[in-house]
Amino acid sequence: MALPLLPIPIIPLPKQQQLFPSNIRRRATTVAAELQTAVVRTGGIDFQFPSVDAPTHKVTVHDRQRGVVHEFVVPEDQYILHTAESQNITLPFACRHGCCTSCAVRIKNGQIRQPEALGISAELKEKGYALLCVGFPTSDVEVETQDEDEVYWLQFGRYFARGPVERDDYALELAMADE
């Protein structure tokens, strides 16, 4: 037994309004044209509208794992990691959402605003730790990358009764042989 088809009423949609007044569109187009060349020169892989009115700050990152020091300028309203990547600077990261500790740094000088940093506790933030993926510079800042396991241990180590787990290369070798 087939079910009868019911007619679907057609509801007229209102005319779409302009999202931006023409003067804002014109200004954004002008800014984009002026700054697109600068982004291409720095090797950026995706175009973003740079902040016109936001102050910029010099960010210095001491990458301990690679033994390199990076210096670059970041607008106050842009994430540090995203700006570094747009300038072809490779920094450690994983989630890009502030939920892990892969991009954790220790602030040596300056300040970073990080309201979305869920991956580190308030206690670690007070001790000077920050996440680059969700960090905004609020002054010139100098940071040093951290080992993800160290930061994880600082944050959660007190919850483990026996301390950090020692790496057992022999067990790892046996596990790999089984595959």
pTM score of the predicted model:
0.62
Q: What is the pLDDT of residue 148?
A: 85
Indicate the fold that domain 56-160 takes in CATH: Ubiquitin-like (UB roll) (3.10.20)
What's the Cα-to-Cα distance from 68 to each of 139, 140, 152, rounded to whole Å? 22, 19, 23
Task: Tell me which residue of 66, 73, 72 sits closest to 92, measured CA to CA.
Answer: 66
- pLDDT, one tens digit per residue, over 52-110 is 688 999 999 999 999 999 999 999 999 999 999 999 999 999 999 999 899 999 999 99
Q: What is the pLDDT of residue 25?
A: 46
Whether 24 shows a pLDDT value over 50: the answer reads no
Of residues 172 and 62, the one with the higher pLDDT is 62
Average pLDDT over residues 134-163: 85
Q: If you average pLDDT over every residue of the chain, what do you get? A: 78
Whether 113 shows a pLDDT value over 50: the answer reads yes
- Supply the Cα-derived Rg of the chain in whole angstroms: 24
What's the Cα-to-Cα distance from 122 to each of 25, 88, 101, rounded to whole Å? 41, 31, 14
d(CA 36, CA 39): 5
d(CA 117, CA 100): 9
Task: Tell me which residue of 136, 138, 114 sits closest to 126, measured CA to CA.
Answer: 114
Q: Classify 79 as helix, strand or coil.
A: coil
Q: What is the pLDDT of residue 155?
A: 83
Q: What is the pLDDT of residue 16?
A: 53
